Amino acid sequence: MAAAHLGLVSLVVFAILAGGEADWPMAWLLFLVIDFPVSLIWWALNSLGPVVPARLNLASPPGSPINDVWNFLVPLGFLSIVGTGWWYFLGSRIHRWRAGRPEGAHWWEGNIL
């Protein structure tokens, strides 16, 4: 599940960089739902806006998403590390739960966790 999440993050990054859409920051909103509840931490990081500069002058051309700290770099870093880690944790938890069930047991037959 973590690999699928990282693949989806990579796909969104590719779409942002290859696309030329003016509303490209909206692509990250998909992960507010997918990564819930850890996406609430990302939402709270936006309060640091006055402390961290909004744009960097990297080697990319001016106006490139790569220069945009709060709309590209912060979501990319957060979703790549914390979001993927969240799905790794969930995947390992589900695997452990399924491995501990007796053969033929179903979720409706009692304790599921």
The pLDDT tens digits of the residues spanning 84-102 come to 999 999 988 888 877 776 6
In a domain? residue 106: no
**Overall domain count for the chain:** 1
Containing structural domain, residue 51: 2-99
Residue 57's nearest CA partner among 45, 69, 47, 48 is 69
Element (H, E) at 5: helix 2-18
pLDDT at 81 over 90: yes
In a domain? residue 71: yes
In a domain? residue 112: no
pLDDT of residue 113: 52
In a domain? residue 113: no
In a domain? residue 104: no
